[in-house]
Every structure is written in C-alpha cells, then in structure tokens.
Structure 1
Amino acid sequence: MNVRTALILCLAYLINQVNALAQTDQLLKFKAPAKHFTESSPVGNGRLGAMDFGGVNKGRIVLNEISMWSGGVEDPNRPGAYKYLPQIQQLLAAGRNREAQDMLQQQFTSAGKGSGQGNGANEKYGSYQVFADLLIDWKDTTGNLESYSRSLDLKTAMATTTWTRSGVKYTQEVMTSAPDQVVAVRIQASKPGLLNLSIGLSRAANATIAAGGNALSVDGQLPAGDGDQGIRFSGRVRILPVGGQMKAAGNRQVITGATGVVILITMATDLNWPQVALRGADPAVTTDRQVNAAAGKSWERLVAAQRADHQSYYNRCSLQFTGVQHNDIGQLSTSERLERYAMGKPDVTLPALYFNFGRYLLISSSRPGGLPANLQGLWADSYQTPWNGDYHLNINLQMNYWPAEATNLGALHQPLITFTKQLVEPGRQTARAYYNSSGWVAHMMSNPWKFTAPGEHASWGSTLSGGAWLCEHLWQHYLYNPNQKTLADIYPVLKGAARFYADILITDPKTGWLVTAPSNSPENAYRTEEGFSGQTTMGPTMDMQIGRELLGNTIAAANALKTDRAFADSLQRILGKLAPNQISKKTGGIQEWLRDYDEAEPQHRHVSHLYGLHPFDEITPQATPVLAAAARNTLLRRGDGGTGWSRAWKINFWARLGDGDHALQVFRALLAPAASGSGISMRHGAGTYANLFCAHPPFQIDGNFGGTAAIAEMLLQSHGKDNVIRLLPALPRAAEWAAGTVRGMRAAGGFELNFNWRSSRIESATLISLAGTTCRLEMPEGKQLYGPNGKPVAVNRSGNIVSFQTLKGARYQLR
C-alpha cells in the first residue's frame, strides 16, 4: 500500500468516525433483530404506530391505532354513595380509619367491576390493545448473513434495517406519515429480481383477514363487556412491487422476482372521539380512501411530506452537549451504550439522545385532535395491555405531558387539554353520586369512555385529585402561552374542579384546618399507633398541595378575566384554612399524611407529598428554604431506586432543589439497562430497555417523558410565583455536562430561549418574547442584557433578579 492510498483510507476512516459520532444524539442503533418489542424501532404519527423488529428471515412489524380500545360507555357510579359520605368522614375525624376504609370499600367504590383489577379487556372498562401484526416471510434464507444494521433516526422518524446475504444488500425502511395517515414500508434489493417474500396480517381475535388483488385487509369488532359489541375496526394494506410477480395465497400475498416493494398500511376504528356515545365514520370506508390516496403517490413524495411534518415539531428545540467527546461510542449499539453508561463510563451524547427520544415519542403519540398518549404512548403488542394501557391520573398521564411546554411542543398538549374538558360532564355525575357536589371530579384512572368514578378498591381507587391535577396542565399551558382567549377557554374547567374541592372539605377537629375526606396518598400505606396499616385518610399532603394550587390558579384566572368576584373571594377565604405542609418529627421530611403516621414502606415508589416541590412550585429553595430542606430529607429517605417513572420524578425533584449532581446520579439509575422480554417482575428490572423505552417494569412511557422533562429542568427553570427564568439551575459538575447548546427551549410567560455555556457558565443567550409580557430573569454573573436595538436594557433589579417589560416578537441578548 502506497502512502497516498494509506492517507485516503485514513481520511475515510476519520470521516466515518466523525459521522458516526455526529449521529450519536439522533440515532438508536441495534446489531440484531428484536426479540421483544422493547428492542424494536417505534414510529408513530400521533394516531398510527408501528414497531419494526427488523427481522431478516421472519419480519414482524407491530401495528397500532390509538383508539383501538375494547369496552364502552358505562355508568360506573353508585347513585346513593353520597349518603355514606358523612359517616365515612365522621369515622376519619374520630381516628377510626379501619372502619372508614371498610365502609369505603363497601359503599364508595365504583359500581360493577371497575378496571377489572387492571385486566379489563373483556369488561366494560376495556383495554387498549394491539391492532395487528404485519408479517414478512423471506424465501431466501440460506446464504451467509453479513453486515446487519438497524437504526431509528429521530430527526427523520425513519426506521431502517440493512443486511447482506449472498452478495445482495437488502434495505427495509419503515415510517408513519401524519399527512397521508399511513404506515409505509419500503424493501429493496441491490440486484434486480432477487426479492422473494410473502406478506400477511395476523390478529388472534375478533378479526377477519383476507387477501386479494394487490391488497390485504383486516376487519373486526372488539368486545364491549356484558356481551355487547364495541368499536369496529378496519385495516387495509396495499402492496406495490417493483418488477416480479405477486399473487394471493390464502390470506397472504406472495412476491417473487421483484427488485423492491412498497407496503402501505392504513388503520381506523369508528370510535368518534370525543363524542364517544356516537358512532364515527365507517372504518372500512376511511381506510379504503386513505390507502387509495397514498398509493397514488411516489415513495419520495410520501417521505417528503412525512419528514416535513415531523420536523416541523422536532426542530423546534434542540440540545447538544459540546464538552468532552468520546470517539469510541460511534459504532456501539444503544444497548451497549446503556451497559457502558451503567459502568460509570462517560457518554457525552447519551443524555441528549434520551432527551431527543422523549420529544420524538411525544410527537409520535400525541397530535391535536386525537386521544392523549396512554400508559404506553400508542405502542402495544398485546390484547390485554398492562393496567389496560389506560390513563392513570395519580401521576402517569400527567407525566406524559411534562416535557410538552418546556421543550417547545405546546401544540401537542392539546389532546390532554381536550381530554380534561371531556371529563367535566361525567365528572359532574360522579361528584353528585359520591359527594353531593355541584363541581366535577375524576379519581385515579380513566379511559376513552370517560371513566371518572373511584376505582374498585379502596386502597388505591379513592384518590380524588385526578381531575384537579389535570387542571394543573391547563394552567401551565396558559402560563407558557399567556393570552385571554386561552384563559377564558380553560376557566370553566378550573372553576368546576375548584367548586368540587370547596364542597368536599371538612374541618379537622384536632387542628381546625380544612381537609379533604375521604382520600389517600396515591397507592401508599401508613401504619397507625394501633398497628392498622391502611390507605384511607383525610387531608393527605398531596391533596392539600393540589388544592392550594387549583384554588390559587382559579382565583388568578377569575381576577384576570374580571369575573366571578364573589366566587374568587370565597376561594380566597378557604385557601388560608387549608391544612399546611408539615415537617414530620419522626423523619425530618415533609409529612405525607395529616397525622404523623409511621411509613409502612419508607422507600415507596410514589413521593406524592412532594407535589408541592414538583410540579407545583410552593416549595422552593429560594422562597421556602426550611420546607426545601425537609423535601431533601424526604428524598434521601425514599432513596434513588423505584420504578422507571418514579426515578424520572426524582430527577425533577433534585433539579428543583438545584442539586444537579444528585439529579445526574438518579438519571444514571433511570438509564440502567433493563432486561427485555415478557414475564418481568414488577419489582425488578426498572430502568431502560434496549430501544430506550422506560421499564416500569414492564414498559411504561411516562418514565421517558418524565426523564426528558427532568433534563429540561436541569438546564432551564421558570417556575415560582414570580416565574423567574433561571439558566443552568441544576447543572451537574460532570465534565460531559460542562459545555453545551440549547435552541428553542420555552419558559413561562411566553418566552423562547437559545443559550450556550462553557466551563459550566453561561456564555450567551437569546430571549425571544412571544407574548410581550414582563420578564424576570436571574442574571448570570458578569453578563449584560441588550435589547433589540443593541442597547442595554433598563431593568428593575432585586439582588441578581432583574425584571423588564418586553416587546412582543422582540429578541433580547445576554452576553
């Protein structure tokens, strides 16, 4: 080899290494086909989803449609339950918690079977479930398999698999298009006439599958419980080979001698969201129309529309860590990187990859006009999804949307906001039945059928703050997008939830405080001095924190809208009487219950009594240092373990306390490699799967969203009563985090920020005012603020906090 050739090869190697490294925050990589969906490549458009397993002998692509729900509308309320409410409250006030919980179980749970103990696929409650599988059987499987590669590109939302067999390179691409409402697959061979395979659909229940012409079809109807029939569903597959021949064989299509093939899949149900009592359009008509329209377009045209749509969301925000680079990660699979990270080795782009993946998942599973992302987003491979794949309202659904506003995806908040509005009327019926209240309530769980009743078991189902917690998201959306129209739109929802809270408060005879009753601290148990281990109580800390937030926001909204002065004044009088945060004399932490009970499980996964630290902002190191110190004690006592979503919440807690090092410590625990597969214990294996899905276990997507939001919290915060914007409030001291760049992150008050930092200090920042509001900013040391005219901005200063009036659309420079 001469010197010239050696230099060329060396340069090519270096270019390949740089290219590989440059993509390590945008690509999920795999070195083998998936054995379980937690190793697959997920794609989605908010309504349709797919998980590509990347098989080379037998290919499998799991297909999902977000409204694929069994069950149906029911009345889960006990009409006379409210008659028992005074007695339950009297028992709690007298400290007779065991008797109160027994009566709650007998008289105050949902009518019927509720969620079926989380197995409601054949009950009225229903379950989210898989739509079907697309199966690809390859005929040429005997040659040597070489150069297998599989990736998911977050920036383009394309899953790609390549491999070589007997000198022929095969490429499979999978995407999901929102503009054309199809899952689209393209398979190509590098040599003409060497594509030989069969394509089929598979669904184990409630479906008829057929093949004919150049198509496949699946049609069926799901059960609705009690022997009723539920939603109808329909899927259409159009197969467009390039060269060769295709013919139907049974319920499959067989292709021989082709060079390539495009497979277009459409799916629909007749669930008419949000008017679920009415049937929607015939799903067969819908899918026929959609697949016909897509089939008339070239692959390149389909890709161009899909990519433009995806990137219109994805490119609104970006994060890069630009400090220490590690060239040895470019060729590693994602699972290898997780293993390496768990051993304490640095990976500067892995946190950014996780951040990007969380935003990618929200774009893929939540779009305006559709249902909100469920416990698994929209990806499921079973007919009885864990916990029915429903909407848990004691943190999980809300956590799905924590990154929406801060990472510039506020438009994708709309499905949750619409869902909350849709719970108001059924919530009124539940409030009347159980509490004789004129407001509205939602308890621990819900579904597309708008279930708002308590759960079927008193130990967890009586959490009454689900609807109020959802209202926090309506308020956050307003804070990030301040305008009177948004406020007027959400105010009736806030008012109804606040009215319910006001109606159900009772006076604690020991303290004189107003408290909720009956309720619980989600899924956790206490132990009384008498040895009773129970859940039912009055005035759990989280209830009171959520109550203060809800009533305070409702008062602020009424004042801003100049309406309901008397109602707002009545809420103001209640606010001062609500049971306050207490510090436990036993633990030195925030007290979880009204009484200082012993903890039955000190390291329980829920840390509900720190709701006031996050997502609410009544506990802050700046304004309430004593309570913040107690919150720290609570977190240390709880420990850094727990389920996936629990670890994600803890990262947010530590970020709010300004402790970036501890936040990073828990982030590393969140990314601990979890074993993929079925039958995983509920108590072991929390962390992250090979495809970055979060392990509860099993898979729950809330951990992904909570972890993404936590990274944003470490880099930018704008919470607090005065909405002060703080840059790098919880930056870890680790070298990999010492330098970076953020583009398009959002802050409360209607601000968008771009900033970069080096040596853990802000270098420069741009603040764009989207609403023309007053900005309050914590000034980095040694920096000056300049207005759109390039001149220094006149500010009001209080310590290191400056405030100034902004012009709508104007840019302000910090340098």
Structure 2
Amino acid sequence: HSNINVQMNYWPAEVANLSECYAPFITYVSTEALKDGGSWQQVARKENCRGWAVHTQNNIFGYTDWLINRPANAWYCTHLWQHYAYTLDKEYLRDTAWPVMKVTCQYWFDRLKENTEGRLVAPNEWSPEHGPWEDGVAYAQQLVYALFEETLAAAGVLAVDDAFVSELKEKFSRLDNGLHIGSWGQIKEWTIQEDKQGDHQRHLSHLMALYPCDQISYLKDKRYAEAAKVALDSRGDGATGWSRAWKVACWARLWDGERAYRLLKQAQNITVVTVVSMDDNAGGVYENLFCAHPSFQIDGNFGATAGIAEMMLQNTVKGVHLLPALPSAWDDGHFKGLKAKGGFTFDVTWKDGKMVEGRVYSAAGQECRMYLPDAKLVEVKKSKGGKVAFTQEADGAVVFPTSAGKSYRLRFE
C-alpha cells in the first residue's frame, strides 16, 4: 500500500545507518515514475496531468490499482530527498532524485486549483482510509508542501535556475500548507467536514507534517505542535502493528518520551492472532518478534525501529537534537551509529538521564550543528586529541567545524 506501508519499511534506512538498504525503493520509484508510457504515467495521463501517480495497492512490477492515491507521488519523493539529505551525494541527487522530483512537481502544477482565498489546493482528495473526499485535505496539502519545499532545496544544491524553478517558487508561495487548527484545538483533517473528536482510526494522515515530514515542530511554531498533540490524543493509544509504531514516532517528535515508551511497550504485546484483525487487543508481536497488524506486517517492525531512533536523535531547524524524548525507564544507556542529516554519525552515552560523552563522525566535512537544550557541551576533541573550538549561537545551537572522514569526541556536563 502506498498510503503508509511501503514508506514505513524505509523509515529507519538512513537514521539507523542502513543507507544502502534504500537502493531497492529508490530504484523502484525512479524506474516506474520515469518509464515512458508506464502504468504510473498512464494514471497521470488519464487525469490530463504530466508526471505520474499511483493507486493505493501496488506491486514491484509497476501494477497499481484500488483507489487513486495521488499524494503518494509527493510522499515517495520525500524519500528520494531524505537519501540525499543524509548522504550529500550530489551525483545521486542530480541523476536520480531530481528528474523524479521535477516531473512530480509538474503533476501538481497541472492538478492544483485556486480556492476562494486564492490559495492552491489539491482537488478531490482523501485522508486514508476513511472519511469524505474533499478539496484541500491536510494529507494532500502537507505532502505537496513538502515536495515543493524539498524540490526547491534540491534546485539550490544543483544551482538550477530556469523556468521550472521560477514556476515552482510562484506556486509554492500560493500553496496551502495543510496546517489549520479546528474547533477543538486540533490540526484539521478535512476542510469541510468537521473532525470527530475521539476518532480512533488507525491512520494519522493529517499529521504528515509532524512525522515523517517536519513542518510541525515546537522549534518552528508551538501552536501547530500543540494542535498536533490534541489531534494525536484524539486518535488514542490503541492501534495495531504499524499504526502504533507511527504513534511512537509522533510522540517522540513532540518530545514526550514517556508516551512514546508506553506505546512502544504496547507494541511489544505478545499475540497469537493470525487472522486479519483491527482489534487493538489483537495487535503486538508474535513470539518470533514479527509485528502483528495482525496478521504479520514487517512495516511495524521497521516503524518501531524508526520510532526508537527518533527518541534518541532528531534533525531540527536548530541542529541535531540528542536524546529529545528519553523516557525515565532508560535513565542510563548508550546508542551507537545513529545517523543525522549532513553525513554525521553519532554515539552517545548518558547516566541519570543526562548526556556524559559522545562521538560524532563526519562523512562530508560539514559544519556540525547540535541543539542541546538539556545538556552543556564542555569539550570537543579530534580523535587524536587536539581540541576543537565551538561556539554557542543565539538560537541555542552549538556549532563546530569538521573535516571529512574525521571523528570527534564530545564531553558534556
């Protein structure tokens, strides 16, 4: 399914230091999206649009059916961009990701329409897998926003400045971002239909901007982060398999380690149910640790892995946030080998909930920027002992230079 499941399989690929494991999905998307006359392009042509689109149900050979899921093309492109953001492989960006991102934007150039406020919205969209089809639903708007924003970032890296980029900038300036606060303080799911408080539907499609995207953050706009919290509370802690894993990651993004931990433990409930069931009590894991939706779906395993990583490390507008959602149950511990954007790999040790020491490896030689609201960095040393000067910036970020292929030891107090 293109409305969460295949994407979730790749959520831990970069952060868990398995970047090479992204290759099958990236090859799949780039091959099928750019295949002249292929099934994905045919879906778009039936709507008189350039580019490509998919339905909800797909296989590895490009076959696609059951309920068109137009925003999935934008969602897939966020994965293509993420691979670049973590690796900074400019050749990959130019030759593989950019061509797909460009034609995906063109699909939405042809598809979007103006609403009564003059904003561009996606017509006749849904919020998987329930509710009405309406113009401008949060699911579509948040994903198209991410697509346009990341494609503009890619254009900046590649120094592309042409008619396409000019059109993209103009349309992005008028695009509805899908972030609207409803009558009971929630991020709205639909434009017209009133959201039902206490709706425990398993999808969190109106919170794409919280996770896996990043438009919603306490560091960007507290109002939207609080509204996302209200919406997430309304969904409840029940769910099965992949849905509970998604909630772990969302609560981690809201810096609530206790809630994320509670959901993670619930996701590890032992079950013996093997028939298809949406009953909260039926989900969890089997004795072999395969995730039970039920029945078995591997996306829950991968999603939970990504959720744990999100509790340990997050990429933010102020830098890499270490231990952003550490639960009290993990008061002492360490992690090794988690990756951050910019080609950085981190190891961190903590005691009594406070960071003690760490190590960062720089693959690309970029400036290392960390956001440390709950820790004080007192020393940065090269792997062979020389000290490295660092600065504390006004926004709370700690910054120091790095060299490609070098490691740095960090000491905190």
Q: TM-score if structure 1 supplies the norm length?
A: 0.48
**Match for residue 441 of structure 1?**
53
Partner residue in 1 for 2:350 = 757
Of the three residues 33, 39, 45, the one matched with 1:432 is 45
Question: 1:479 maps to what in 2?
Answer: 85
- Taking the aligned partners of 2:297 and 2:357, their CA distance within structure 1 comes to 38
1:799 Cα offset (Å):
4.1
Shift of 1:798: 2.3
State the partner residue of 2:378: 784
Q: Which amino acid aligns with 2:353?
A: S
For residues 24 and 180 of structure 2, the distance between their equivalents in structure 1, rounded to whole angstroms, comes to 38
Deviation at 1:680, TM superposition (A): 5.0
> How far has the Cα of 1:644 moved from its partner?
1.2
Of 14, 18, 37 in structure 2, the residue corresponding to residue 409 of structure 1 is 18
* Cα distance, 1:793–1:572 mapped onto 2, change above 3 Å: same
| CA distance, structure 1, for counterparts of residue 395 and residue 98 of structure 2 | 35
Aligned-pair distance for 1:564? 4.4
Q: Deviations over 1:736-771 (max 9, x none)?
A: x01112111111110011111110111101111001
- Pick one of 315, 324, 327 that aligns with 1:732: 327
Alignment of 1:770-781 (within 5 A): 770-779=363-372, 781=375
Q: Distance in 1 between matches of 2:32 and 2:134?
A: 25
Q: Give CA deviations for 1:387-410 in whole Å, capped at 9, x if unaligned.
A: xxxxx1101000001111111111
**Shift of residue 805, structure 1, vs aligned partner:** 2.9
Label 1:578 to 1:521 Cα distance change in 2 as closer, same or farther (>3 A).
same
Aligned partner of 1:649 in structure 2 is 246
| Matching of residues 66-215 of structure 1 within 5 Å | none
**Aligned residue number for residue 500 of structure 1:** 107
1:768 is aligned with what amino acid? Y
| Cα distance in structure 2, aligned partners of 1:465 and 1:444 | 10
The CA deviation at 1:517 is 1.6
Q: Aligned partners of 1:565 and 1:711: how far apart in 2?
A: 41
Aligned equivalent of 1:743, options 322, 325, 336: 336
Q: Distance in 2 between matches of 1:515 and 1:621?
A: 26
Matched, 1:811 2:404: no
* Conservation of the 8 A alpha-carbon contact between 2:312 and 2:323: yes
**What letter is aligned with 1:759?**
D
Q: Secondary structure at the match of 2:405?
A: coil
Higher CA-based Rg: 1
Does the Cα contact within 8 Å between 1:558 and 1:565 map onto a contact in 2? Answer: no
Tell me the residue number matched to 1:300.
none
Partner of 2:225: 628
**Counterpart in the other structure of 2:310:** 713
Q: Contact 1:463 / 1:521 at 8 angstroms: preserved in 2?
A: no
Question: For residue 408 of structure 1, what is the amino acid of its counterpart?
Answer: N
Please state how far the C-alpha of 1:552 moved relative to its aligned partner: 1.0
Letter in 1 for 2:237: D
Q: Secondary structure at the match of 2:245?
A: helix
Question: Aligned ranges for residues 590-629 of structure 1 at < 5 Å?
Answer: 590-599=187-196, 602-629=199-226
Letter aligned with residue 428 of structure 1 = Q
* 3-state DSSP of counterpart to 1:575: helix
1:268 aligned partner: none
2:158 to 542, 561, 585: 561
CA contact (8 A) 1:584 1:596 kept: no
Matched, 1:801 2:397: yes
- 1:39-94 CA deviation, whole Å, 9 max, x = no partner? xxxxxxxxxxxxxxxxxxxxxxxxxxxxxxxxxxxxxxxxxxxxxxxxxxxxxxxx
Distance 2:406 2:317 in 1: 24
1:483 positional shift: 2.5
Given residue 786 of structure 1, which amino acid in structure 2 is its aligned partner?
Answer: V
Pairing 1:468–2:74 present: yes
How many residues are treated as equivalent by the alignment?
402
Query: Aligned ranges for residues 329-368 of structure 1 at < 5 Å?
Result: none
Give 2:8's aligned residue. 399
Distance 1:633 1:812, change over 3 A: same
| Counterparts of 2:254 and 2:271, CA distance in 1 | 28
The TM-score normalised by the length of structure 2 is: 0.93
> For the Cα contact (< 8 Å) 1:517–1:537, is it kept in 2?
yes
Letter in 1 for 2:56: M
Question: 1:585-639 deviations in whole A, cap 9, x for unaligned?
Answer: 3331100012252439711100101000001111001111100000000111110
* Residues 1:537 and 1:600: Cα distance change in structure 2 (over 3 Å): farther
Query: What letter matches 1:803 in structure 2?
Result: V
Higher fraction of helix:
2
Report the alpha carbon displacement of residue 669 of structure 1 after superposing the two structures with TM: 1.4
Asked if the contact 1:716/1:725 (under 8 Å) is kept, the reply is yes
The CA deviation string for residues 562-593 of structure 1, in whole angstroms up to 9 with x for no partner, is: 22432112111111222233444333110001
Residues of 2 paired with 1:561 and 1:405: CA distance?
22
* Shift in CA distance, 601/508, structure 1 to aligned 2, threshold 3 Å: farther
CA shift in 2, pair 1:482/1:624, >3 Å: same
Report SS of the residue matched to 1:431: helix
**Does the CA contact (< 8 Å) of 1:521 and 1:592 recur in 2?**
yes
DSSP 3-state at the match of 1:576: helix
Paired residue type of 1:763:
V
Cα distance change of structure 1 residues 508 and 687 upon mapping to structure 2, 3 Å threshold? same
Gaps of 5+ in 2: none
Shift of 1:542: 1.3
Q: For the Cα contact (< 8 Å) 1:582–1:591, is it kept in 2?
A: yes
Asked whether the equivalents of residues 410 and 477 of structure 1 are also in contact (C-alpha less than 8 Å), the reply is: yes
Asked whether the 8 Å contact 2:241–2:292 carries over to 1, the reply is yes
Alpha-carbon distance in structure 2 between the residues aligned to 1:801 and 1:655: 20
Tell me how far 1:507 sits from its aligned partner. 1.3
Distance 1:443 1:784 in 2: 52
Distance change (3 Å), C-alpha of 1:656 and 1:709:
same
Give the partner amino acid of 2:269: A
Measure the CA separation in 2 of the matches of 1:445 and 1:423. 15
Equivalent AA in structure 2 for residue 618 of structure 1: Q
Match of 1:682 in 2: 278
Match of 1:695 in 2: 292
Residue 126 of structure 2 corresponds to residue 514 of structure 1: no
1:208-232 CA distances to partner (integer Å, 9 max, x unpaired)? xxxxxxxxxxxxxxxxxxxxxxxxx
Q: Work out whether residues 277 and 293 of structure 2, in 8 Å CA contact, stay in contact via their aligned partners in 1.
A: no
Greater shift in the superposed pair: 439-448 or 610-619: 439-448
* Structure 1 counterpart of 2:107, one-letter code: F
- Determine helix, strand or coil for the equivalent of 2:79: helix
Relative to 1, partners in 2 of residues 1:421 and 1:688: Cα closer, same or farther, differing over 3 Å?
same
Where structure 1 has 5 or more consecutive residues not aligned to the other structure, the ranges are 1-391, 456-460, 526-534
> Structure 1 residue 477: deviation in Å?
0.7
- Rounded to whole Å, the distance in 1 between the matches of 2:336 and 2:195 is 46
Structure 1 residue 518: Cα displacement: 2.1
Partner Cα distance (2:283, 2:392) in 1: 48
Trace 1:371-382 onto structure 2 (pairs within 5 A).
Answer: none
Q: For residues 255 and 12 of structure 2, what CA distance do their matches in structure 1 show? A: 18
CA–CA distance in 1 between the matches of 2:21 and 2:27?
A: 11
Provide the identity percentage: 39
Q: Does 1:543 align with 2:175?
A: no
Q: Structure 1: how far apart are the matches of 2:90 and 2:19?
A: 17
Contact in 1 for aligned 2:142/2:179 (Cα 8 Å): no
Q: Contact 2:243–2:300 (CA<8 Å) still a contact in 1? A: yes
